[in-house]
Amino acid sequence: MAPTAPMALSTPLAPAADNPIFAVAARAEALRARGADVITLAAGEPQAATSAVVVEAAVAAVRDPATHHYGPAQGHPELRALVAARLSEDTELPWTEGDIQIALGAKHALFLAAQALIGPGDEVLVAAPGWPGHAEVVTAAGGVPVPVETDHAFRISPDALDRRRTPRTRAVILSSPGNPTGAVHPESRLRGIADWARRHGIWVIGDDIYRAFDHTGTYRSVLRVAPDLRARTIVVGGVSKEHAMTGWRVGWLAAPPEIVASARLHVSRTITHVPTVNQRAALAALNDADTPADAARDYRRRRNLLVEALNAIDGIDCPLPDGGMFAFPDVSDLLGDRGWTSSADLATWLLDTAHLAVVPGEAFNAPGRIRLCFAVDDRTLLTAIDRLRTALGTTPTEATYDIDAPNPEVAR
Ligand X SMILES: Cc1ncc(COP(=O)(O)O)c(C=O)c1O
Residue numbers of the site for ligand X (CB under 6 A)? 44, 105-107, 131, 133, 175, 179, 207, 209, 238, 240, 246, 251
Task: Look at residue 243 and give its three-state secondary structure.
Answer: coil
Q: Residue 127 CB, nearest distance to ligand X (Å)?
A: 10
Cβ closer to ligand X: 25 or 382?
Answer: 25
Lay out the sheet containing 123-128: strands in order across.
100-103, 251-254, 233-238, 203-207, 169-175, 123-128, 144-149
DSSP state, residue 50: P
- Residue 12 or residue 180: which is nearer to ligand X going by CB? 180
Which of 253, 385 has the CB closer to ligand X? 253
Residue whose CB is less far from ligand X, 359 or 385: 359
* Degrees to nearest 5, angle at CA 358 with 353 and 360: 105
Q: Which is nearer to ligand X, 245 or 385 (CB)?
A: 245
Q: How far is the CB of 107 from ligand X (least distance, A)?
A: 3
Would you say 266 and 141 are in contact if contact means Cβ atoms under 8 Å apart? Answer: no
Whole-number minimum distance, CB 258 to ligand X, in Å? 23
Query: Which secondary structure element, helix H or strand E, spans residue 252, and what is its range?
Result: strand 251-254
Q: How far apart are CA 329 and CA 306, in angstroms?
A: 10
The alpha carbon of 192 is separated from its chain's Cα centroid by a whole number of angstroms, namely 23
**Shortest distance, position 202 Cβ to ligand X, whole Å:** 20
| Largest Cα span, the chain | 64
State the minimum distance, in angstroms, from the CB of residue 396 to ligand X: 37
Kindly state the smallest distance separating residue 209's Cβ from ligand X, in Å: 4
Q: Measured from the CB atom, is 133 or 145 closer to ligand X?
A: 133
Instruction: Residue 124: name the closest of 140, 108, 109 by CA.
Output: 140
Nearest to ligand X by Cβ — which residue? Answer: 105
